[in-house]
Chain A
Amino acid sequence: MSADRTAGGRADLGLEARDVCVEYDGQPALRSVSLTVAPGHVLALLGPSGAGKSTLLHAVAGFLTPSSGEIRVNGHLVASGSRAEPANRRDVAVVFQNYALWPHMSALDTVAYPARRRGVGRASARAEALDILERLGIAHLAHRRPSELSGGEQQRVGLARALARHAAVYLFDEPTAHLDAHLRGVFLEELVSRQRATGAAALYATHDAEEALGLADEVALLHAGRVVQLGTPQQVYDEPVDLWAARLTGPASVVTAPEGSGRLLVRPEWACLGGGVEGTFDGRLREVWFRGPHSDYLVSSAFGTLVVREPGPPAHRPGEHVSWSLRRSWRLTDDGSDGRDRAPSLT
């Protein structure tokens, strides 16, 4: 564990979780989860609901105690065995999915709250808060109550409150789940720039693959409480450890390997219509979808059904015979399982 010096000059050590297990009512919710987030980095927790993303975040935040394992925040041991430091003493900040804004406080007081808890006087805390609100572009909402704010505005106030904490680790619990696409983009932009500027580490839970791949430095795939795969966005997208992971991280088609046995993962953009270097295969077009910048073709062939993506508007009609080839592919494990019980593979 070496200290990292960030651009800001702070000696932050990020987040480290080792073999964290959490049991809920006798049922395991997290099984031996280990991951590290370096300062200034974002690690996305990608997984379906029930996978354990929120549980892990709650364990790191201090809202629940792991039954075993260690968690270190900024080098400090905050949870080990069954001993745990209370949430308010950890160097973490949380952004909640449903905003969790206090209905009886204005936006300004909400954002000033962390500073007040540090002992800062009310006037200075408010001044600091106003500053943060300005940087997020919502200073004009300072005196509004949550009931007077839209979803996007509420979430930005939540982000402002987290920023006011000046924490070493940021925890995002599916913060864009209730925002529309446009707001989501705006929010993510701000979030990432703020977080990198402070040099803090961030753990970002989401079930949206695109979002995860887009903003993370590393992605951890979580399934039934276990980390199935941990790698860069490129790695988990191009080289998923099994079919389940493949399906989680993006659009996936599975075909039998044309030469030899086994199964291949084919992402839509890895195949093309027409002849190719490695071999051309026949297929019949079943469906065509126009997506805007590209079109998706559902092709059925002897090796299976796959989706082929080509730029531009649709050039063929359903029912036509087409030929297709593979630019690249990724071989899936032979046991044919969905990877549910696979041990985590570290790349």
Chain B
Amino acid sequence: MRARTTSLPGAKRSRTRSPRFRAGGLGALTIGVVLVLAGCGGAEGEDEVGAAEPITLYTCSSDETVQPIIAEFEEANPGARVELFRAPTGELNARVASDIRSGGLRADVIWGCDPLTMQSFVDQDLVGGWVPDNASGIPDNFRTDDYVGAHVLYMVAIHHTDAPAPEAWRDLASGEYEVAIPDPAVAASALGTLGYFAQSPDLGMDLYEDLRSNGAVQVSTPDEVTIGVAQGVYDAGVTIATSAYQAKEDGSPIDVVWPEPGAVAVYGPVALANESSDSQTAKDFISFVVGEEGQTTVAESGSYPTMRDVGGPTVPDGAPVVFPDWAAIGQDQDTLLSEYQKLFGG
């Protein structure tokens, strides 16, 4: 005889949480919580008398650089408020892409970490078309008609103290070193470097091919390169100058080299969102950042400023620097990446 599973009319096997349950109580509860949390976070601006609307800044530069800038700007402009979204380049891009598809870019100002990404934003009609009057204080190499550079990353070479110092970029591919390079799909600075090398007549994609055939490893970020070399996992690598000097100062056994023909300068541009072209606060902010005050703050925070003679870390005397042709690289970007990924995987 079959066993029967009986059930009383209307009975259920069991439930969980108890007396709070009324019909739909759960739904009400969830919605309630969501609404409460929707109130939290987000702009908490109680409008002060005469206060301007807060502006939103998207950036991928480090907290250490951005926070003091914001603080000083708000001090210099009472009533102004800057709301910050700070994420690594990759996440920043994803955020912008999602914004676009859900009602439009929510940033008023974007402070990027490389010109290529910013250029693509310009090409998508998101930002650009305006530069502050004091933009002329920034060298030509670091600005265009749509955006102005606020800080610079220099891609340098580092090597473990046990290994000989490479003098030129070429030396890294000579087979003497086990090399680590950062991933251009993750780090914009690496992308800029890739672009520069690929377009440089002496180096070209051959450099990467040689690196690959000599066992070079691609890691994610320039910082991982620094760490890897410091730990002795690799002999040498390509990384950002600030990261390298910091590690050296901490006591890691590495040395920094600005190789021939030059360290690659990748500047981080600031641009105004097209939708916010009537926001005076946003314009003021950009002017501040590329003005003397802002640049001094950038320098004090430990990053290389774009403006000259404002203190902070400087390029060592006689160290060669090269400035990539971003427009040209931008056009070839896809080809470059896919060629690179054929070598180093994606």
Contact = CB atoms under 8 A, between A and B. Distances in A.
A and B: direct contact (Cβ < 8 Å)?
yes
6 contacts: A147-B2, A147-B3, A148-B1, A148-B2, A149-B1, A150-B1
Nearest to B2: A148
A150 B3 CA distance: 8
A149 B2 CA distance: 7
A147 B2 CA distance: 6
B197 to A, nearest CB: 66
Interface string A114-156: 0000000000000000000000000000000001111000000
Interface in A134-182: 147-150
Contacts of B3: 147
A149 B1 CA distance: 5
Interface of A: 147-150
A147 B4 CA distance: 10
A253 B93 CA distance: 92
Nearest to A147: B3
Main secondary structure of the interface of B (DSSP, over half): loop
A148 B1 CA distance: 5
Interface in B1-21: 1-3
B4 to A, nearest CB: 11
Interface string B73-102: 000000000000000000000000000000
Nearest to B1: A150
Interface of B: 1-3
Nearest to A148: B2
Contacts of A150: 1
A144 to B, nearest CB: 10
Contacts of B2: 147-148
A148 B4 CA distance: 10
Contacts of A148: 1-2
A150 B2 CA distance: 8
A148 B2 CA distance: 5
A185 B3 CA distance: 23
Contacts of A149: 1
Nearest to A153: B1
A77 B1 CA distance: 43
Contacts of B1: 148-150
Contacts of A147: 2-3
A150 B1 CA distance: 6
A-B interface, 6 closest residue pairs, ranked by CB to CB distance from nearest: A150-B1, A147-B3, A148-B2, A147-B2, A148-B1, A149-B1
A179 to B, nearest CB: 14
A147 B3 CA distance: 6
Nearest to B3: A147
A154 to B, nearest CB: 11
Nearest to A149: B1
A148 B3 CA distance: 7
A151 to B, nearest CB: 9
A225 to B, nearest CB: 36
B51 to A, nearest CB: 71
A99 to B, nearest CB: 13
A178 to B, nearest CB: 13
A140 to B, nearest CB: 14
A145 to B, nearest CB: 10
A149 B3 CA distance: 8
A104 to B, nearest CB: 16
A172 B55 CA distance: 83
A213 to B, nearest CB: 32
A17 B3 CA distance: 40
A210 B15 CA distance: 44
A150 B4 CA distance: 11
A6 B208 CA distance: 93
Nearest to A146: B3
B211 to A, nearest CB: 60
B3 to A, nearest CB: 6
Nearest to A150: B1
B304 to A, nearest CB: 71
A198 B4 CA distance: 38
A276 to B, nearest CB: 53
Nearest to A151: B1
A263 B2 CA distance: 54
B2 to A, nearest CB: 6
B14 to A, nearest CB: 23
A119 B1 CA distance: 33
A26 B3 CA distance: 40
B1 to A, nearest CB: 5
A294 to B, nearest CB: 36
A147 B1 CA distance: 8
A147 B5 CA distance: 12
A101 to B, nearest CB: 13
A141 to B, nearest CB: 11
